Structure 1
Amino acid sequence: MLFKARSAAVYGIDAHIIDVEVDYSGIKLDKEIFSTVGLPDAAVRESRDRVRSAIKNSGFDIPPTRITINLAPADLKKEGSGFDLPIAISILGAYGGLLKKDLSDFLLVGELGLDGSLRAVQGMLPIAVAARAQGIPNLIIPASNAREAAVVEGVNVYPVASLLEVRELLNSAALGAMKAAPLKVAASNLLNEMQHFPHDFKDVRGQHVAKRALEVAAAGGHNILMIGPPGSGKTMLAKRLPSILAPLRFEEALETTKIHSVAGVLDAEQGLVMHRPFRSPHHTISDAGLIGGGMIPRPGEVSLAHNGLLFLDELPEFPRNVLEVLRQPLEDGMVTISRAAMSLNFPARFMLAAAMNPCPCGYFNDKSRDCMCTPPMIQRYVSKVSGPLLDRIDIHIEVPAVQYKELRGGAAAEGSEQIRARVLEARKRQHRRFSQNGGQALPAKGSARPIFANAQMGTEQIRKHCELSPDAERLLERAMQQQGLSARAHDRILKVARTIADLEGADDIAVKHIAEAIQYRTLDRSYWS
């Protein structure tokens, strides 16, 4: 007897529909024989023991026969425990334990406990998206995964807790009336809920230049590097940066949630990533941990920070080989991981915020403390951050030590709410600039990815939206020649100047906007000369 069910396997951040076929011989044996084919990994092969116990402890008696399980297409590697549920249901169907004989309109995913209970699996959001794309209307999954999958409109999500509950649900479908109602989540409303942040810029005393630079960075999605002595507030500023970022758009939230779902770090109660991610890996992280990797690649920190913020504290303490792998995602917004069996792409369009001391002791150029480092020591320290990597960071600023009068001053500092209001107005101008008549963001030339911020502009958009007056042209030319800036730095100055103009509500880039943008490049290599 042959019985078929449908499931899914996740590769990268996308899922592929898998047909689960079960056939039993009908000849009773002394011992039950399970045979699983279709490139299963160890977790899939071990499912026979979980499935056998789950079926038995759910009250079903399966006579010992030869059972063959095929996972098609056979040329795709199958991994994970999510095939337990479709295998168990197919076995019940093959032995006549189901009233419903055709499960083509259902997709089943879930790990089974020995008692027949269902446990959550990773990557449920991509699976729900794949089900909708393939026209599969119903999704039966563990209850702890249900909220995550229900954010996808066009799919009926049925949360279940046990194998017995799944059987009853399918039997009720065969009788023409589903026993349970699908879970509904108003995903678009989740992003409109009040957002709360644990840190606020009103706690920051002084550092007006740094706060202004962070405002510009948040308004345009620019990468930023802060250089200053220990205790000057670099980490404090970075932790407050998420409180002034623009809220996630729904399409951004969906893509970000897919990555977190695949990586297994999604909050099951939340279901959807509602805030821009903030990732702050330790400097002992490996290149695979930062970029992603594994035999079957998984997303790393740069992908978990997609559409959010990646903060690298003590930048020179990271191994140089780890920092160098940042070049591709900073330039392309994408990470490509190639293995012998497959090549996968992970989105990695993030805003980089980095902090570093100017020298090993931290007091180079400090007015209150003497630096104890020799020039060779400073050179070795600084050379850990390569020129090409610095070139990809739009804004370089100095964060000096806060003076006592500023630290103890009674004047209230500007809070995140006021700064964020200006950032949102600038983002609205950018959205109108990069949108079609219907409001959909346009992709950059040569890319399928839409543009949401000035930092994501390509060469064509820079030429179109960053035209300069003759005076501004002369100022930029003089800065390029005197500071020896690269062509990449030239483009980044124009992007930052465009953002500064947007913050002022200006249509044209003025000389003062170019001048401020140039000042944000003064901490290049010449800073240590």
Structure 2
Amino acid sequence: MLVKTFGSAVYGVEAITITVEVNVTEGLHTFVVGLADSAVKESIQRIESAIKSNGYYMPRTKLIVNLAPAGIRKSGAAFDLPIAVGVLAASEQIPNPDILRDYVIMGELGLDGNIHSIKGALPIAIQARKEQFRGLIVPQSNATEAATVNQLQVFGFSHLKEVIDFLRDTSQAQPVVVNTRSIFNAAQPLTDVDFNEVRGQESIKRALEIAAAGGHNAILVGPPGAGKTMLAKRLPTILPPLSLQEALETTKIHSVAGRLGGNTTLISQRPFRSPHHTISGNALVGGGSIPQPGEISLAHNGVLFLDELPEFTRSTLEVMRQPMEDRRVTISRARMSVEFPSSFILLASMNPCPCGYYNHPDRECSCPPGAVSKYLNKISGPLLDRIDLHVEAGAGAL
């Protein structure tokens, strides 16, 4: 018997609906086709254990699972649940398989049938609504996130048996209801730090106010202890609050990256990302065989702070040049090309020399001749040209 269920694959910050065709027929062996990676092919072992653990049986005849369209690579364990439901329906253990055409189903299965969280629930929900599905079935931990999309019934379940009971009688469960606007307004954050706490450093504060008002990139140059990092951490507190549209954009990116906490609906605070200087170029701009967003995309609509800028490798910094101009980053692979938004304020800090005390009023610089120019030349001219404000941070200015 041939049965079709529907899942979804996330590429970039958008989702593509995947048709999961399951056919139980005469013969032997199990085949998973449709350009599935190892994690998807391994799902058969998890599915078999989950099905048997809950009193159902796994067909011992020929089982073919096709993930269409076959030209798009599928990865991850989130296809466990739609494949498991398709196997049960194709073996006539779920009555009325026609109901499956109304729902997009996604979830990772444990060996006992527990359903674990997935990445990208928000873009999956947006795509399901766009294609006019009746509802979306996701893990319980992702239900609140997905329910921020209105005009779509979202059902959250924590166990395979709950999904089977729902498909047998859809009136047993109520969809998750989220008032997106009221929750967003109530979640306007109270931050632990505030720009008002800063005393002195009037010139730097003025420069950061200009950067916040105009969305300008800035670099702070000064000795250790001048307050560069302290001021940088407080920059998001003087930025305008996120609009609802900006919050949805930011939440989509963090959802795809798997950075949302449990039961999180929307990100209501502007992101502040501060990667370590040992970060690689791929981690900064995004990458991987299945491209994932990097730090510059996670900082979308917020601030990217690069502390001790010359300590970053030159090749890592140079990959930011085009994204800083275009406000987006395009990552191309042999079979796909994805685009991530990256509209952020770049805030960097650095010492004036390796020891940090060049031109210091009280401390003597211990750097050898030529060390200062060599240190400053670690940052290329084209990158500095994209930084609008160059601010000198004096030592203990009041």
**TM range, normalised to the smaller chain?**
over 0.9
Match of 2:316 in 1: 322
Match of 1:3 in 2: 3
What is the correspondence of 1:69-468 to structure 2 with a 5 Å cutoff?
69-102=65-98, 103-173=100-170, 178-193=171-186, 194-403=188-397, 406=398
Match of 1:450 in 2: none
Match of 1:25 in 2: 25
Contact 1:191 1:248 in 2 (8 A): no
How far off its partner does 1:63 sit? 4.0
How far off its partner does 1:309 sit? 0.6
1:146-198: CA deviation from partner (whole Å, max 9, x where unpaired): 1111111121100011111111111113xxxx211111111222332242111
Which stretch shifts more, 271-280 or 92-101? 92-101
Inter-partner Cα distance in structure 2 for 1:231 and 1:62: 65
Normalising by structure 2, we get a TM-score of 0.97
Inter-partner Cα distance in structure 2 for 1:301 and 1:375: 36
Structure holding more helix per residue: 1
How far off its partner does 1:99 sit? 2.3
Contact 2:59 2:91 in 1 (8 A): no
1:98-154: CA deviation from partner (whole Å, max 9, x where unpaired): 223211110000001111110001111111111011111200010001111111112
1:217/1:190 Cα in 2 relative to 1: closer, same or farther (>3 Å)?
farther
Deviating 4+ runs (over 6 angstroms): none
How far off its partner does 1:370 sit? 2.0
Inter-partner Cα distance in structure 1 for 2:221 and 2:227: 10
SS in 2 for 1:116: coil
Give the total of aligned pairs.
396
SS in 2 for 1:344: strand
1:490-521: CA deviation from partner (whole Å, max 9, x where unpaired): xxxxxxxxxxxxxxxxxxxxxxxxxxxxxxxx
Contact 1:15 1:126 in 2 (8 A): yes
1:344-384: CA deviation from partner (whole Å, max 9, x where unpaired): 11111111110001111112222222222245111110011
Q: CA RMSD in A?
A: 1.2
Whichever residue aligns with residue 282 of structure 2, its letter is: A
Contact 1:190 1:274 in 2 (8 A): no
How far off its partner does 1:16 sit? 0.3
Inter-partner Cα distance in structure 2 for 1:396 and 1:192: 36
Inter-partner Cα distance in structure 2 for 1:62 and 1:225: 61
Whichever residue aligns with residue 384 of structure 1, its letter is: K
Unaligned runs of 5+ in 2: none
1:80-110: CA deviation from partner (whole Å, max 9, x where unpaired): 1111101111111111122232111100000
1:255/1:388 Cα in 2 relative to 1: closer, same or farther (>3 Å)?
same
Inter-partner Cα distance in structure 2 for 1:351 and 1:137: 40
1:445-503: CA deviation from partner (whole Å, max 9, x where unpaired): xxxxxxxxxxxxxxxxxxxxxxxxxxxxxxxxxxxxxxxxxxxxxxxxxxxxxxxxxxx
Contact 2:125 2:149 in 1 (8 A): yes
SS in 2 for 1:328: helix
Inter-partner Cα distance in structure 1 for 2:118 and 2:59: 29
Whichever residue aligns with residue 9 of structure 2, its letter is: A
Unaligned runs of 5+ in 1: 407-529
1:134/1:206 Cα in 2 relative to 1: closer, same or farther (>3 Å)?
same
Q: Which has the higher contact order (CA 8 A, sep 6+)?
A: 2
SS in 2 for 1:355: strand
Match of 1:16 in 2: 16
How far off its partner does 1:232 sit? 0.3
Inter-partner Cα distance in structure 2 for 1:182 and 1:129: 16
Inter-partner Cα distance in structure 2 for 1:135 and 1:345: 25
Inter-partner Cα distance in structure 1 for 2:183 and 2:47: 37
Normalising by structure 1, we get a TM-score of 0.73
Whichever residue aligns with residue 143 of structure 2, its letter is: A
Contact 1:139 1:157 in 2 (8 A): yes
Whichever residue aligns with residue 39 of structure 1, its letter is: L
How far off its partner does 1:26 sit? 4.3
1:52 and 2:56 are equivalent in the alignment: no
Structure with greater Cα Rg: 1
Inter-partner Cα distance in structure 1 for 2:164 and 2:315: 52
1:238-283: CA deviation from partner (whole Å, max 9, x where unpaired): 0111111111111111111111111111122222111111100000
Whichever residue aligns with residue 89 of structure 2, its letter is: G
Which stretch shifts more, 193-202 or 34-43? 193-202
How far off its partner does 1:229 sit? 0.5
Inter-partner Cα distance in structure 1 for 2:361 and 2:339: 47
SS in 2 for 1:21: strand
Contact 2:143 2:263 in 1 (8 A): no
Which stretch shifts more, 90-99 or 184-193? 184-193
Contact 2:94 2:164 in 1 (8 A): yes
